[in-house]
């Protein structure tokens, strides 16, 4: 028995319930039924958040060891093919100080890293030279683009109603042979800004031996924070632009360029998509440039739905990410070309931390993210923590009674 009054195995059960059930109240009820002992929701919260804070401290100690050059890979043999998928989600906060209740509600960001190993390919041929049927089906493409556009234009409202940042609808419908299948997943999540998050990502990559892999990739959406992070911590790695984000941009540009001409718009989109899928970025840029010149440059002030503006922005997006769009080579190397894994991971985090009635303070949310990340990782870190954890003081008003 430790100082908390609970054995390590019981503490592990409390933490598991507190970090994976939708709420602390549900965790308390689950423990009563499944573990057959009574513990209040408040005490579940205190213990879970305390253990999560300890996990965060352990994470920070590993980061410090990495920065000092003392951290070594956990596994003796490096993986062959690896990818790190990066993205950000949303979480609701409330004021830190003051009386109980929700005051000053506001949205904040969670940053998530998904670390995956992949099987090496047996040959260097393109396993999927033609675009998937799902990417050439008008109803499916329209659904995907509408949902992503809603999230982009009204992120808070869309997140609140459960919309995914990058819906994985099309990717989940692909046959297994048409996408790289991950082998072992681990996760990193935090509320910290980009700079400390970058060190956390690099530390996890070192711990898993990713720097020694033969094929290495970083996947992002072309935003303004993932590229600099990758260049700082992963120089020489392949940077891959998420294909679904590119698809949405191309569809928006094609439908804007030929508004009221559905057939021509779809033909334009399909041609651009095929060039992108095969990695013919030069042809894609030429096609976008022709349409931009045909429409003309937008004036200084123009509405967001002006075709000239939409096509121009897509042209700039492709120019800025041209070096991240060699998709045929990525497929030959066995690398993924979409961020579906991290989108799925964020969805799993959201099952615990998001909801219309969930408003967090930062220290509690950060602790829960660490617990959730440990249990969403497919190695033994969740259990290993409790095996090696030193016993600490009790938590809550009844600590003496519990320890007696």
Domain range list for the chain: 8-132+174-242+338-403, 244-324
Residue 180's pLDDT band (cuts 50, 70, 90): low
Question: 3-state DSSP call for residue 385?
Answer: helix
Does the structure show a pLDDT above 60 at 6?
yes
pLDDT at 100: 75
pLDDT of residue 166: 45
Q: Is the pLDDT at 18 greater than 70, yes or no?
A: yes
Dig out the tokens for 246 from the structure. 């590119």
Q: What is the pLDDT of residue 96?
A: 83
Task: Please tell me the predicted confidence (pLDDT) of residue 298.
Answer: 86
Angle at the Cα of 146 from the Cα atoms of 256 and 181, rounded to 5 degrees: 110
Q: What is the DSSP letter of 104?
A: S
Q: Is 113 a residue whose pLDDT tops 90?
A: yes
What is the DSSP code string of 206-268? Answer: HHTTGGG-SEEEEEE-S-TTHHHHHHHH-TTSEEEE-HHHHHHHHHHHHHHHTTT-HHHHHHH
Question: What pLDDT score does 382 carry?
Answer: 94
- Average of per-residue pLDDT across 351-377: 94
Residue 150: band (very low, low, confident or very high) from pLDDT cuts 50, 70, 90? low
- The three-class DSSP label of residue 276 is helix
Cα 54 to Cα 58, 178, 370, 387, distances in angstroms: 6, 41, 9, 14
Amino acid 12: pLDDT: 94
Query: If pLDDT is split at 50, 70 and 90, which confidence band does 75 have?
Result: confident
DSSP 97: S
Task: Give the residue carrying structure tokens 């990818």.
Answer: 83
Handedness of CA 334, 340, 344, 347 (dihedral sign): positive
Main-chain phi, psi angles of 343, to 5 degrees: -65, -40
Q: Work out the percent of the chain whose per-residue pLDDT is above 70.
A: 88
The pLDDT assigned to 183 comes to 87
State which H helix or E strand residue 186 sits in. Answer: strand 182-190
pLDDT at 118 over 80: yes
Tell me the pLDDT band of 193, cut-offs 50, 70 and 90.
very high
**Would you place residue 209 in the very low, low, confident or very high pLDDT band (cuts 50, 70, 90)?**
very high
Burial 47-66 (b: 16+ CB within 10 A, else e): bbbbbbbbbbebbeebbeeb
**DSSP-derived secondary structure for 323-360:** GG--HHHHHHTT---S-HHHHHHHHHHHHHH--TT--B
Find, among 277, 253, 272, the residue nearest to 170 by Cα.
277
pLDDT single digits (tens) 315-333: 999 999 999 999 999 999 9
Higher confidence at residue 153 or residue 89? 89
8 Å CB contact between 181 and 338: no
The per-residue pLDDT for 99 is 77
Residue 146 has a pLDDT of 85
CB 239 within 8 A of CB 85: no
Whether 181 shows a pLDDT value over 80: the answer reads no
Average pLDDT, the chain: 88
């Amino acid at each position: 028995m430790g100082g908390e009054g609970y054995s390590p195995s019981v503490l592990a059960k409390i933490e598991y319930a507190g970090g994976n059930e939708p709420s602390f109240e549900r965790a308390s009820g689950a423990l009563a039924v499944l573990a057959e002992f009574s513990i209040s929701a408040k005490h579940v919260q205190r213990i879970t958040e305390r253990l999560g804070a300890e996990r965060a401290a352990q994470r920070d100690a590993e980061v410090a060891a990495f920065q000092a050059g003392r951290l070594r890979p956990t596994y003796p043999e490096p993986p062959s093919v690896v990818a790190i998928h990066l993205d950000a989600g949303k979480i609701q906060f409330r004021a830190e100080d003051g009386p109980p209740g929700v005051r000053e509600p506001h949205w904040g960001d969670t940053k998530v890293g998904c670390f995956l190993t992949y099987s090496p390919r047996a040959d260097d041929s393109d396993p999927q030279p033609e675009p998937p049927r799902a990417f050439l089906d008008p109803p499916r493409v329209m659904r995907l683009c509408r949902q992503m556009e809603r999230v982009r234009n009204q992120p808070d409202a869309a997140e609140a109603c459960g919309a995914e940042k990058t819906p994985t609808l099309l990717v989940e419908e692909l046959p297994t042979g048409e996408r790289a299948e991950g082998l072992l997943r681990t996760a990193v999540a935090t509320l910290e800004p980009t700079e400390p998050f970058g060190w956390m990502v690099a530390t996890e990559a070192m711990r898993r031996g990713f720097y020694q892999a033969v094929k290495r990739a970083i996947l992002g959406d072309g935003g303004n924070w993932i590229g600099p992070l990758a260049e700082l911590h992963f120089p020489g790695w392949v940077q891959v632009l998420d294909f679904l984000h590119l698809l949405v941009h191309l569809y928006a540009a094609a439908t804007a360029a030929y508004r009221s001409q559905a057939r021509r718009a779809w033909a334009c989109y399909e041609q651009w998509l095929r060039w992108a899928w095969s990695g013919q970025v030069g042809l894609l840029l030429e096609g976008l440039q022709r349409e931009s010149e045909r429409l003309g440059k937008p004036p200084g002030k123009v509405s967001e739905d002006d075709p000239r503006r939409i096509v121009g922005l897509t042209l700039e997006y492709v120019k800025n990410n041209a070096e991240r769009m060699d998709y045929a080579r990525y497929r030959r190397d066995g690398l993924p070309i979409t961020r579906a894994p991290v989108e799925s991971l964020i969805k799993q985090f959201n099952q615990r931390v998001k909801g219309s009635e969930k408003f967090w303070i930062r220290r509690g949310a950060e602790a829960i993210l660490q617990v959730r990340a440990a249990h969403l990782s497919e190695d033994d870190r969740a259990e290993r923590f409790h095996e090696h954890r030193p016993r600490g003081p009790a938590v809550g008003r009844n600590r003496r009674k519990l320890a007696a």
